[in-house]
Structure 1
Amino acid sequence: MISIQRLEEIIKKFNSVRIAVIGDMMLDEYLIGKVNRISPEAPVPIVNIEEERFVLGGASNVANNLTSLKGKVFVYGVIGNDANGEKFIKELEDKNVNPAGIVKDETRPTIIKSRVLSQGQQLLRLDWEKDADISQDIQNQLLENFEKNIENIDAVLISDYNKGLLTKHLSERIIEIAKKHNKKVMVDPKPQNFKNYVGATSMTPNRKEILDYFGMKKFTSEEEIAEKMAQLKDDLKLDSVVLTRSEEGVSLFRAKHKRIPTVAREVYDVTGAGDTFISTFLLSICAGADLYEAGVIANMASGIVVAKIGTATATQDEIIEFYKDNDNILKNI
């Protein structure tokens, strides 16, 4: 059990942690309105839009989570040279995220996912994206931006949505540069790209992703989970593997398997909970927490955001309040 004093000691240090987030940058658009009738042109609802709002998505949602917890963030990714790209930069600046590492690519659009909602229900989603690999020139620009700022960061968080940014070459060079400068590298991967991240410090797949990597449909026991986490750690030469398991909590593996059960009070929306987990976990590690302490703190942060509607973040004060409200549960973990 982590004490309240130890929790506050770790969280207080978040303010001085500097994280580089590298990954597929996206903008989430929400068009919210009312439906009063069906279109005479086709059997579809007519939505009278009353509100439009934009939220950082993809890897930039990881950055948003980090800033919400008072970490300092540098982002590295690609957007289009378009109006949505300008909106994206504005959202970063509004969240106090440094956008200097962003590269504009004339050949692709800014990734945007537009959701049409009415009465709390999503009626439609529209995606603008191009998921072909970025060019070698764009990769070189990103690497140059990253390497020239490497001394100003404490750790690297790679957020892979498989949208063409994190090529094998780019991923391997990021890890090589980070290790050369003794920086931790944590990866939130996609199964088809696991082998791009050999030599990273840690990886945080979810249950489906690790099953897909091993070509399995399900785990039959806790022992099998531990076995596969150990195998993944050896395959990719990682220091540790952190497996997020939704309602089953999280499993940690360095030398042995340790499971931390979920502490969510209520679950309304799991959107972005994985981003919250990995952000809080890496901040905690950089703030001096061990693997177990970081897992407990990140699990609490995830428990906070799943009780909110939509893509959400947690704050330092919310984590401390959550601990105090659930200390009877946490003392048994």
Structure 2
Amino acid sequence: MISIRRLKEILERFKSVRIAVIGDMMLDEYLIGKVGRISPEAPVPVVNIEKERFVLGGASNVANNLISLSANVSVYGVVGNDANGEKFIKELEVKKINSAGIVKDSSRPTIIKSRVLAQGQQLLRLDWEKDIDISSENQDKILELLKEDLKNIDAILLSDYNKGLLTERLSKKIIKLSKENGKVVVVDPKPQNFKNYVGATSITPNKKEILDYFGMKKFSSEEEIVEKLEQLKKELELENVVLTRSEEGVSLFETEHKRIPTVAREVYDVTGAGDTFISTFLLARCAGADLYEAGEIANMASGIVVAKIGTATATKEEILDFYETVQEHL
């Protein structure tokens, strides 16, 4: 396991890392209240709303994770030219996330997911979204904005929720531009879009996503997992593949397979754990960690957020505390 001295050294460098997050930007809305009766109009509960809360979601949750770890972050994506788009940009400003790369599009709504909660339970979720590909014009706008800021960026994180932002054309142009300028590109992909990311530095699928990509229901053995990781690395011309395996930990493949066991103490909610993992992994790599060290640190950060309710983030202080707790049980 990584030493405490080395961990502190890497975490200290986080504040000097500059990362661009490109992907499907969303806003999560939580309507929180109490149920006192059943509606006389239909057999549904009537929720008396007491509180409304907005949280950055989708690719912007990745940016939020990076900010929580003291990185410098800029985001690139599309929102609607609507009230929710204004709320989204305001949330970015509150978090001190650079929003100069956000393009407004009147033809599509800002993606928002509204959750109605009462007595600690989610009763209903409402989604506003249009998941068709963004226009070629908006793809070009994002690319131009990225080019203008590339000198101020250490690495690029592509966060794909399959909502139309990371088209095949845009993804390939970003990767080509990044390679020409010596920038690291790490991708959190969706299975149907894996081929969009040929030539990226690394991708971080979960177990279900890699099974879906290969058209499989399950892995028959550990050896088969390694075989598929190597195959994926070759097919997509990657430097490495990082497979998150939930309670089975993490598998890393560069020239050989390395496994990191899970370190979660308690699991309450896995929402956003993948966002936390990829954020911390890329940040650690940019801060000088090798592949295995970055996997260990990201695994710890994920172990922290699954012990929290709802979309959550981890901090450097929490990672250090978590490390000390894990060490006590070794």
CA deviations 1:125-175 (Å, max 9, x no partner) are 000000011111010100000111001000000000000111100000000
User: RMSD of the alignment, in Å?
Assistant: 0.6
- The residue aligned with 1:164 is 164
Residue aligned with 1:165, SS: coil
Partner Cα separation in structure 2 for residue 263 and residue 171 of structure 1? 33
Residue aligned with 1:149, SS: helix
- The residue aligned with 2:47 is 47
Kindly indicate whether residue 252 of structure 2 is the aligned counterpart of residue 252 of structure 1: yes
- The residue aligned with 1:309 is 309
- The residue aligned with 2:273 is 273
Kindly indicate whether residue 68 of structure 2 is the aligned counterpart of residue 68 of structure 1: yes
- The residue aligned with 2:297 is 297
- The residue aligned with 2:5 is 5
- The residue aligned with 1:141 is 141
Please tell me the residue identity of whatever aligns with 1:291. Answer: L
Please tell me the residue identity of whatever aligns with 2:202. Answer: S
Q: How much does 1:328 deviate?
A: 4.0
Please tell me the residue identity of whatever aligns with 1:24. Answer: D
- The residue aligned with 2:322 is 322
- The residue aligned with 1:126 is 126
Residue aligned with 1:278, SS: helix
Please tell me the residue identity of whatever aligns with 1:37. Answer: R
- The residue aligned with 1:92 is 92
Please tell me the residue identity of whatever aligns with 2:148. Answer: K
Please tell me the residue identity of whatever aligns with 2:61. Answer: N
What TM-score do the two structures reach when normalised by structure 2?
0.99
Partner Cα separation in structure 2 for residue 94 and residue 220 of structure 1? 47
CA deviations 1:186-222 (Å, max 9, x no partner) are 0000000000000000000000000000000001111
Please tell me the residue identity of whatever aligns with 2:275. Answer: D
Partner Cα separation in structure 2 for residue 38 and residue 230 of structure 1? 55
Q: How many residues align?
A: 330
- The residue aligned with 1:218 is 218
Partner Cα separation in structure 1 for residue 88 and residue 316 of structure 2? 25
Deviating above 6 A after TM superposition, structure 1's stretches of 4 or more consecutive aligned residues are none
**Structure 1 alignment gaps of length 5 or more:** none
- The residue aligned with 2:36 is 36
Q: How much does 1:36 deviate?
A: 1.0
Please tell me the residue identity of whatever aligns with 1:304. Answer: I
Partner Cα separation in structure 2 for residue 327 and residue 293 of structure 1? 16
- The residue aligned with 2:113 is 113
Residue aligned with 1:310, SS: coil
Please tell me the residue identity of whatever aligns with 1:296. Answer: E
